[in-house]
Every structure is written in structure tokens, then in C-alpha cells.
Amino acid sequence: MAKSRAGEWFRRYAPAELGAIVGAVLAATAVDRFGSAAATAYAGAIGETIVFYGVLFIRDLSAQRAGRSPGRAIGRTVRGLVLECGPAELLDTLVARPLAMYLATQAVGSAWLGVVLGKIVADFVFYTVAIIGYEIRKSAMRTPPRARAGTMPATDPRVPPALDRRGGLRPPSANEVPTRQAYGHSIARALDRVPHRPHVAAEPGHTPVADAVTPGGTAIGTAVPRRRPWARLDVGAFIGVMEAPAAVRASTSTPGVDPIAPVALDDVAYATPYLMMDLDRVGRAFLRLDDALGLDAIHYAVKCNPDPRVLATLHRLGCGFEVASFPELARLMEIGVEPADVLYSNPVKPVDHIRRAHQAGCWRFAADSDGELTKLARHAPGAAVYIRLRTTAATTSAVPSEGKFGVEPHQVRELLLAAAAVGLVPYGLAFHVGSQMTAAGPWADSITEAGATLEELAAVGVTLEMLNIGGGFPARYAVPVPDLTVYGAVIQQALRRLPYRLRVVAEPGRALVGGAGVLVATVIGTAVRGTQRWVHLDVGAFNGVMEALETGNTLAYPLSDSRRAATCVRCNLTGPTCDSQDTIMFDVALSAGLAEGDRVYIGTAGAYTTAYASTFNGFNAPATYCVSGT
């Protein structure tokens, strides 16, 4: 954590310091031709200061400006820099620097050497105080305000009628036509609470303001379909250890060729098994889900596919993250994700993970037991807690949840009151309806159950800030699934019935990455046993397709092979180990004549494959390669 934080400080101040040196030299050189030594010194000092703060100002403004008018963005940036560097600059200018240079000169007996040594000491003092100011600034500007009972009434006369419930703009009725200023005031107030924003735009149509985008792409309006331009990702900076092979990179520039289609992967010479991920597909899937759900934030479940290139792609698009361990949080920190923006949703956590995550800046933790609250109070004092609620909704999940986590509604009240008693902040509720859900109804039922719990809590003076509706949104395997807009419509309708407005977030996984990956395997042998034909691959349940076992071999991965023969035969597709359970699917169609050395392509393999993989029996887990530019 300390190493990551030090790296963050270095990346922030090193460019400004280098620029300041250049600025000082250029300014001093320019004045030295015409002025005195004193004028040259003053010019150098002024040039150093202007460039140093100019670099910080430009960097901060580029991050702050999205979603604000130029004046508001500049004002916020200036206030932040004053908070960060004001005390350091005063201490440096009035006390530390002249005193250090004077004492150093007296000590060494040389003006030149004394000035240099004094500058080193003064710079150390300056950056120490500035770093403290920077950390205070981050905390002040990123931590969401705490909700207080009574601060979120169902109807606020200062908010346009269309914004009362979910913050989404809808065509007002004939007798409710808010002014444009009212819309602007409400939207700006909402944007002020958001730490990271992409570009914010509006598309006026039949309503005064038809659409806007908040960080992570939250829909403020739903009157017309959103049109967000898809910008190709420049992933060269974070491709990392493994780049896509040349054959795949070449295919991305060929019109009509899918870079993860079998025809594009046939000639790739990498050793199998391997997983090929299309990062652009990941980005498009995030944008589609974000548009469809219209929630306050999307927090990708890192466990689903923790590849750093996948995480970096989502981070660059404004996606949030959810973790189940400190190592997952550390992986996010390595690509520049702020721990304060991350949800720690594992209800039972090792003490060391809690302590390290809290020290890093993570402040929101899930729990569902008294024991977990005790651990959090001791090792993450003052943290915000959201309780995992057990749902009773009928599941339509292809990968059912086994009910490991979650408490009954009456226990939620007890736990939140207990949390407050030990110095934690009652923050929210969370639930999870299952995985690969093929119907939206369970979300509506679970939100209704959560609403009843919110009413009971409000009756005893507890008002929460967040509702986490979990994940479970489906990827498209061989069987069609409902369009994501169906889920969004059902969820939004249920949210409008809640007793008051909360920050609503989701934690999707496979819906963002499942369809972006193809698992490439090689046939290592075939056999006919009785009446059944068996095809053995160098990947199986234990080293890449664990969900085959979790689903009783019913999860229907799309399949293809390198022969792509017109005639197919029915086969059992199995893995390389000697374990009899190591089978992926039974009775699937593959090319007749498929033989040792041929390849099999397993589609929709971007989720819960490599993340689960082991080296059982000595067989390698798949490597991961990435491609973009599609």
C-alpha cells in the first residue's frame, strides 16, 4: 500500500517539478540578458512557480471539468490546489526555504553549496506538507456526503417533479413544466457529488432535457435513446505481458472479420489452451449495460475476470469496481483505481484484508453477522457498512446461488443498529439474486423486499444511502437471453416504489466480459467408448471451465472447431485430467473427423474461466491474450 501511495505521489509531483526546473531556467535565461542578478533570480523563481502550478492546474482541470461549466471547473480546481499546496507554499516561502538556505550556508561556509543543500531540505519540507494537503484534499472531495434521516424526502419542492424519485428526467405532465433552471440546478447538484466523470452531454427532444450522462454513464434521462459515441480504446499502454498475436491484430483491420472468430484464430500459433479477449467488446458491453440499467454506478466484480487489461479498459470508461479480497484491491490500485471508489462486498473477510484495505482508503464494507461487525469496528473504525440481505425471490439462474450469504429482514435492523453502536456507519443494503439470470422478475421482488426493510428502518430513525442490487446479469451463451433493456425497465419500475431515493448500484461480472472471450483448445485425443464418441481437449473443468461442474454440465457454451465440416457428429467434450468429473459438455455437435491436433473454440468464455483455473494433474491453466480496435 505504501509503495503504491508513494508511486501516486511521484506521478503527481515529478512532472510538475521537472517542468518547474525548465521554467526557472528559461525565465532566468531570458531576463539575464537584460537585467541584474536580482532580476534574474526573481524571474527564475516566478517561472518555476508558474510552471509548477500550471502543470498541476492543467492536470486537475482535465479531470474536474467534465460535467461542469468552465467557471465551475476552474473554481473547483483552484480551491483544490489552495487546499493542497497553500499551507506548504506559505511555510516554504516565509520560513522553511530562507531558514534552510541560511543555516546551510552558515554550516558549510559556501554560499553556492549552502543554497543547494538548503533547497534540498526546503523541498523535502514542502513536499511533506503538500502530500498531507493532497491526501486531505482527496478525502474532502471524494468521500460522498453521509445521509441523514429526513434529508431525502419523497417530494422535494426544489426538485422538478420528474427528478423526485430516481433522478431520471421524464416528460412532465401538462400541469408540471419545470423551468430549465430547475433542471440545471438539480443536475449540477447531482454531478457535484460524483468524484469521477466522463463527458456529460444532453440531447434535448420532447422534454426540456432529454438525456445526460453521469460518471460510469448513469442515465439521468430516459426520454430518448442515448447516443454515446464509441471511441476505440488505445490499449497499447496497458497490454502488458502478452500482446495479441500478429494474425489477430491483422484481422482487426480487415472489414467484416471478427478478431475472435474461429476464422481469425485458426492461424494463431500460440500454444493452447489460451483465452483471447476482445477489449473493445468489453467496453461496448459496459456501455450497453450501463445504458440499459440507468443506475447511479456500475461496479464490475473483479473476481469474474481479473486480467489487468480488462480492468484497465473498464476503468478508462468510468466503470467502478467491487472486490472480495485485498489482493483484488491491490490489483486495481496498480492500474490507478482509487480504493475510496471501490466496494468491498465479501460479507466475511480476513482481518488482515480488512485492515490493509481500510488503510489503503477503502471505506465501504459488506457484512452479514455480528462477528464481521466486530472485526470491522476494530480494524476499519468509522467504516460504512452495508448488510447483505437474503432474497426469497424465485430464481431463474443458470448458475444458481447456494444461499451462502445474507440475513433475514429482521436481522438487518439488528445488525445496522449494532454497527452504529460500535462506531460504524449504517450505509446500505445489498442482495444477490443469482448468476446468469434469465428473467428480470427476481430483481423486482428483491427490491420490493428491500423497500419493506427500508421502511422499517426509517421508522426507528435509520436512513440509508445505498442499495446494491448485485450482479447476475446474463451473457449470451448458446441459448438466447432477454435483452438487457428488459432488465432495466423492470428494475427501474421497482425502484420507483422505494420509500425514498438512494444511490443504487449493481455489481455485474459475466455480462461485461463473458461474450468478449474465446477459449482456444487443442484436441489431444478421441475415442469411441460403447456408443459414445469422446473428444479430449487440453482444457477442461479444472483448468479453465469450472462452471461446467457448477452447472451440472448444462451451461451451453457456443462451440466451433478448426475443421468446420458440413457434417457433424454428437460428442462428449472432456478435459485432459484423469478425473472422471473433468467433462465440459455432453452430447454436443462437432465436425465429423475431428482428430488429434485440431482446435476447438469455446465461445462466451471471458467470465469465470481463467479466474477459476488450476494446474490440477500438472496441466497448464490458459494464458490470456487481448486484442482491440474492432
Do 562 and 428 lie in one domain? The reply is no
Give the domain extent around 374.
306-508
Same domain, 365 and 389: yes
Query: Among the listed ranges 10-24, 450-464, 558-572, which one has the minimum average pLDDT value?
Result: 10-24
CA quadruple 450, 453, 458, 461: dihedral sign: negative
Q: Give the pLDDT of residue 445.
A: 93
pLDDT at 462: 92
* Domain contains 101: yes
Q: Across all residues in the chain, what is the average pLDDT?
A: 81
| pLDDT band for position 180 (cuts 50, 70, 90) | low
393 and 531 co-located in one domain: no
**Confidence (pLDDT) at 335:** 95
CATH (domain of 345)? 3.20.20.10
**Does residue 354 sit within a domain?**
yes
Domain count, the chain: 3
Q: How far is Cα 588 from Cα 610, in angstroms, rounded to an integer? A: 23
Per-residue confidence (pLDDT) for residue 426, from 0 to 100: 96
Q: Which has the higher per-residue pLDDT, 385 or 100?
A: 385
Is 164 inside a domain boundary?
A: no
The Cα 57–Cα 64 span in angstroms is 10
Do 500 and 612 fall into the same domain? no
Tell me, yes or no, whether 589 and 466 share the same domain. no
Cβ atoms 560, 545 nearer than 8 A: no
Residue whose C-alpha is closest to residue 415's, from 471, 322, 347: 347
Q: Which of 59, 135, 117, 131 is CA-nearest to residue 361?
A: 135
Structure confidence at residue 48 as a pLDDT band (50, 70, 90): confident
Domain end point (choices 142, 171, 193): 142
Pair (324, 451) in one structural domain: yes
Judged by average pLDDT, the poorest of 1-5, 121-125, 240-244 is 240-244
Minimum mean pLDDT range among 137-141, 422-426, 536-540: 137-141
Q: What are 519's strand-pairing partners? A: 275, 602
Same domain, 486 and 582: no
Contact assessment for residue 264 and residue 627, using Cβ atoms and an 8 Å cutoff: no
Section 259-278 average pLDDT:
93
Average pLDDT of the residues in 426-447: 93
Same domain, 343 and 440: yes
pLDDT at 312 (0 to 100): 96
Average pLDDT over residues 291-318: 96
CA 297 to chain CA mean position, Å: 9
Round to whole Å and give the CA distance between 213 and 15: 32
On the question of pLDDT at 294 being above 50, the answer is yes
- Same domain as 8, residue 101: yes
Mark whether 602 and 469 lie in a shared domain: no
Is residue 270 in some structural domain?
A: no
Q: Which of these ranges, 48-62, 341-355, 493-507, has the smallest mean pLDDT?
A: 48-62
CA distance 317 to 265: 27
Last residue of a domain, one of 508, 539, 572: 508
Question: 15 lies in a domain?
Answer: yes
Q: What DSSP character marks residue 407?
A: B
Can you give the pLDDT at residue 486? 96
Residue 230 has pLDDT above 60, yes or no: no
Let me know: does 184 contact 220? Beta carbons within 8 Å.
no
Asked whether residue 435 is assigned to any structural domain, the reply reads: yes
Residue 8 and residue 129 in one domain = yes
At 106, is the pLDDT very low, low, confident or very high (cuts 50, 70, 90)? confident
Q: Are residues 330 and 468 in the same domain?
A: yes
Q: What is the pLDDT of residues 351-360, one digit of tens each?
A: 999 999 999 9
Residue 526 is assigned to a structural domain of this protein: yes
What is the Cα gyration radius of the chain?
28
Average pLDDT of the residues in 65-75: 61
102-116, 202-216, 301-315, 566-580: least confidently modelled range: 202-216
**Out of 102-116, 245-259, 482-496, least confident range:** 245-259
CATH number of the domain at 536, please. Answer: 2.40.37.10
What number of other Cβ atoms are within 10 A of residue 506's Cβ?
27
Instruction: State residue 298's pLDDT score.
Output: 97
Q: In whole angstroms, how far apart are CA 318 and each of 81, 194, 202, 345?
A: 24, 11, 18, 19
Residue ending a domain, among 91, 108, 142, is 142
Average pLDDT over residues 102-122: 75
